[in-house]
Amino acid sequence: MSDTNDSNTSYGVVSQFQRNNYFYSKLMAVRDFEDEQHYMNDKRHLLNRMINGFGIVCGLEEVGTPISDGNIKIKFNSGGMAIDRQGREIAFPVGLEKDVLLKKPPDEGSQDTYIPLNVDSMGNDVYYLYLEYKEGKSEMVIAVSDDSGSQESCSYNRVIEDFQVVASEEEPKVPTISCPPPYSDDITAEIDKQGVKEWLQKETSNLCSTPEEERVFILALKLVEQDETSSAGPVVDPVETANHLSFVANNRVLSELLACHLADFTNPHNVKMSQLEDFNANNHKITNLIDPTEDKDAANKIYVDEKIADAEKTGGTVSSSSDIENVTTEHTRQLNVSYNSTASGDRSQVNASVRSTASGRRSQVNASVRSTASGIRSQVNASRRSEASHTSSQVNASLRVKSGKDYTVCGGYTYKTEGGPSRGNRKWELNSQNGDFTYLGTLRTTLSGYGEYFENLIKGVIDMGVLIALEGANVRPAKKDEDFIGVVSGTAAIRLGDSPFCWQGRYMKDEWGRPVYEEIKDPEWEPKTVPDEKWKPKKGQTEADRPMIPIETEKDRPIIRVQKENPDYDPKRKQEPRSERPKEWTLVGLLGQVYVRCDDTVKPGDFVKSGSKGIGTMSEEKTKLRAMKVTKAFDGNYAIVYCLLK
């Protein structure tokens, strides 16, 4: 035996094997038997890596996802076997149940820890499940002595070649397929052969490289809403699963594939639309194998069957250099330059997005990742892991944000990776129903001050910078030594009391000035429709002419809550905002930094009081207005002084 305790000396992924040398009178220790096991196992694992590869060997056709106390389990209903990237066999018997675990980031110097994957933490994310080889021990027995040979102890009698199921949001790394260089008529056959040899040498050398990870991907899980009486539950995502599965192909499978390939000369690869898209996305070309004597360029043509040709038609888009009027597109769902996405709602669209879904009627997902537009006329734009689930809602430039109300535009961000999109992650929201703007951050502007519009006591424009006094509910220039409420301002950042859109009394209010609401049937509601299956086209008609029939009735019309309109409101009357009627309304700065008309007595640092006709003058006593700097010198009529009003 070697002087070292290592049974096999490792060089990268390949080990130099050592085996027991048996001789008469040799004393066998535990280490010798363990070395014998390692020798046989390591050789078998090496052959698996070099010859068979990794992935699913058999089984895994039926998988259940039971839930216990909110934690997700995997039940292998059909059983099977897999080989990981180290060549180790992983067997899962029929009926075996395993907890689905999440790996927690380890503390410095500590080992990895795992916690169960809970339904509540999944959100709308897709979780990828992996088999990780993990040995366990069982069958505790009495050992007549321990390693010191002096005491009786207990030890495990069997080693179980077990595994654990670990979930991750990280997508599996799909191995790239490298093909040898194509033959060319411009070079000799000998050079072509040399090129193939170099390719073989490069590819076989990769077999001896250390794998980036050892685990085996088995399936992808996502949450799906159930009916009204049950909550969301985890189900297998067939698309994500199929995109990342790896299989171990034995000689029989390879021979059958080869026979099928050689038997079909027109389409030996049995190309489908999804495969063509995947190959094109990876810069591959699929060629049609046709006798070159029939068409010299046939070998360079992409194979297209009827299904592919239909998908490539622009049935959802009409373009023209002239006006396009009253056109109905043939197709009602559209995907544009997107990856693994779904457009399932009527007139829905996904553009430049990854793993996103537009399921609401007339919904859109644009330039987003793992996002969903499920509300009617909803949009998700430039976002990740977000959802617009309400009618006429938008989520913009966000991460893990869900819309909160109908007719809103919102955005937000969270760095937390747990859970799916949430309303609690919103940072701002514009509400079109009531005009509210809600935000969590700061309001930044070059303007300063806080002001409100007041009705003038006497019709006429009050000059800028004049100190204002209150008389009843109206305002006028302050008199000498009179208490003033503010100053006529043109720099207020916040301006309240205006009527920018319509008559200020359009909506009813209660005795406390609060808006009055009422419930009405939604006048904008449209019933869900489906294509009329009984329709038969007449001459000249196409699929675009197929009528849509409603599947909802008036009883399904929803009730909405709206502000109650004043019966005196006349939309035909012209409305002019208060801010555009300075003879009637004056913006009075009530707080902040303001420009004030002053006489020649005011200097920086002075307190200011009202002089004649609202002109500021120096005060010996403390007032709510203090001069900071003179911005325009006294010209015989007034000076302009920048003051702080508080």
Pairing of strands 379-381, 364-366: parallel
Query: Is 644 a residue whose pLDDT tops 80?
Result: yes
pLDDT at residue 284 in the model: 39
Task: Tell me which of 2.160.10.20, 3.40.1190.20, 2.40.50.140, 1.10.579.10 is the CATH number of domain 333-439.
Answer: 2.160.10.20
CATH topology classification for 450-499+578-645: Virus Head Decoration Protein; Chain: A, (2.40.300)
Q: What is the pLDDT of residues 29-47, one digit of tens each?
A: 888 888 889 889 888 888 8
Residue 478 confidence class, pLDDT cut points 50, 70, 90 = very high
Contacts of 562 (CB under 8 A, 6+ apart): 433, 517, 518, 519, 520
The encoded tokens of residue 627 equal 């001069």
DSSP symbol at 390: S
Residue type, 261: H
Closest Cα to residue 172, out of 218, 104, 116, 237?
A: 218
The secondary element (H helix, E strand) that includes residue 529 is strand 529-531
Pairing of strands 639-645, 625-632: antiparallel
Q: What is the pLDDT of residues 504-541, one digit of tens each?
A: 999 999 999 999 999 999 888 888 888 888 888 888 88
| Comparison of pLDDT for 141 and 474, the residue scoring more | 474
Give the three-state DSSP class for 75. strand
Closest Cα to residue 341, out of 308, 378, 369?
A: 369
User: What pTM was estimated for this model as a whole?
Assistant: 0.53
Instruction: Give domain limits for the chain.
Output: 9-52, 55-173+212-239, 249-312, 333-439, 450-499+578-645, 517-563
Q: What is the pLDDT of residues 399-448, one digit of tens each?
A: 999 999 999 999 999 987 777 899 999 999 999 988 999 999 998 999 99
pLDDT at residue 593 in the model: 97
Query: Is 306 a residue whose pLDDT tops 50?
Result: no
**DSSP of 281-321, one letter per residue?**
HTT---B----TTT-TTGGGSBP--HHHHHHHS-TT----S
Residue 40 CB coordination number (10 Å): 11
The rounded distance, in Å, linking the Cα atoms of 333 and 315 is 9
The rounded distance, in Å, linking the Cα atoms of 526 and 524 is 6
Closest Cα to residue 99, out of 7, 163, 33, 34?
A: 163
Residue 305 confidence class, pLDDT cut points 50, 70, 90 = very low
The secondary element (H helix, E strand) that includes residue 35 is helix 30-47
The rounded distance, in Å, linking the Cα atoms of 419 and 122 is 5
**What percent of the chain is modeled with pLDDT above 90?**
43
pLDDT at residue 5 in the model: 45
Lowest model confidence (mean pLDDT) among 2-11, 565-574, 593-602: 2-11
Query: Is 293 a residue whose pLDDT tops 70?
Result: no
pLDDT at residue 409 in the model: 97
The rounded distance, in Å, linking the Cα atoms of 579 and 154 is 90
In order of 70, 165, 272, 528, the CA distances from 246 in angstroms are 30, 17, 19, 41
